[in-house]
Amino acid sequence: MILDILFPNRCIQCNTIIDPELLVCGLCFSQIHFTHYNYFENNPVKEKCSLFFPVENAFSLIQFEEESLSRQIIHELKYRSRERIGKILAEWMIDRLDFRDDHPDLLVTVPLHPKKLRERGYNQLHLFTETLSEFYDIPFDHELVKRNHYSKAQALKDKKHRLKTTNTFSVTQPVSGKHILLIDDVFTTGNTVSSVAWEILNAGDNKVSVLVMAVDI
């Protein structure tokens, strides 16, 4: 309580004091560009994924535009040690994503390399995924896929180097006959998601759908 008084929670955009459970104030919330995609229909994420691998369904929560509040939210989550933002994004996702009667069998996160995980202290996808798992009653597996090579963040790479992800990932255990929802933070070139998806598809008779926090296409 004393800490809340001395260090109140503030909107990350305008610095207004807000409820401890919120991320932005009501006025700034209206500045977030949600995608309004339909998970079961063609949308920019699904269309881009389909160029690289057979994708069942795809969805993104927000647009990842230059100099936008959406981009700031993702950067706060990934680079400012604000892991709790993952739970808030999951709650926003729950308000907008309906699996109907076609729930995936398993939620799988794109992994960090162990060195990157030690540096950051957390995987920005884990709390997000675990919140979705609890609400939708779908199991998750953070260990199904591993990252084989250490590399700097995608956001810090130029476009040429973002395309180099050959043999970056591998599946750690047998998996077959599953509809897997692959979860990542930002969809840019689609190369990372594609690399993980092919590992899952090649592991057995699996189907892959994609869920990302933000899309930059």
Q: Is residue 200 part of a domain?
A: yes
CA distances from 92 to 49, 95, 97, 138, 156 (A): 23, 5, 9, 18, 27
Alpha-carbon gap, residue 6 to 53, rounded angstroms: 51
* Average pLDDT over the chain, rounded to an integer: 92
Q: Is residue 5 part of a domain?
A: no
Q: The domain that contains 185 carries what CATH number?
A: 3.40.50
| Confidence check: pLDDT of 78 > 80 | yes
What domain count does the chain have?
Answer: 1
Give pTM, 2 decimals: 0.90
Q: Is residue 23 part of a domain?
A: no
Q: Check residue 150 and give its pLDDT.
A: 85
Q: Check residue 217 and give its pLDDT.
A: 76
| Confidence check: pLDDT of 158 > 70 | no
Q: Is residue 87 part of a domain?
A: no
Q: Is residue 26 part of a domain?
A: no
SS (HEC) of the chain:
CHHHHHCCCECCCCCCECCCCCCCCHHHHCCCCECCCCCCCCCHHHHHHHCCCCCCCEEEEEECCCCCHHHHHHHHHHHCCCCCHHHHHHHHHHHHCCCCCCCCCEEEECCCCHHHHHHHCCCCCHHHHHHHHHHHCCCEECCCEEECCCCCCHHHCCHHHHCCCCCCEEECCCCCCCEEEEEEEEECCCHHHHHHHHHHHHHCCCEEEEEEEEECC
Q: Is residue 134 part of a domain?
A: yes
Q: Is residue 73 part of a domain?
A: no
Q: Is residue 9 part of a domain?
A: no
Domain range enclosing 109: 33-66+95-215
Q: What is the mean pLDDT of residues 186-193?
A: 95
Confidence of residue 62 (pLDDT cuts 50, 70, 90): very high
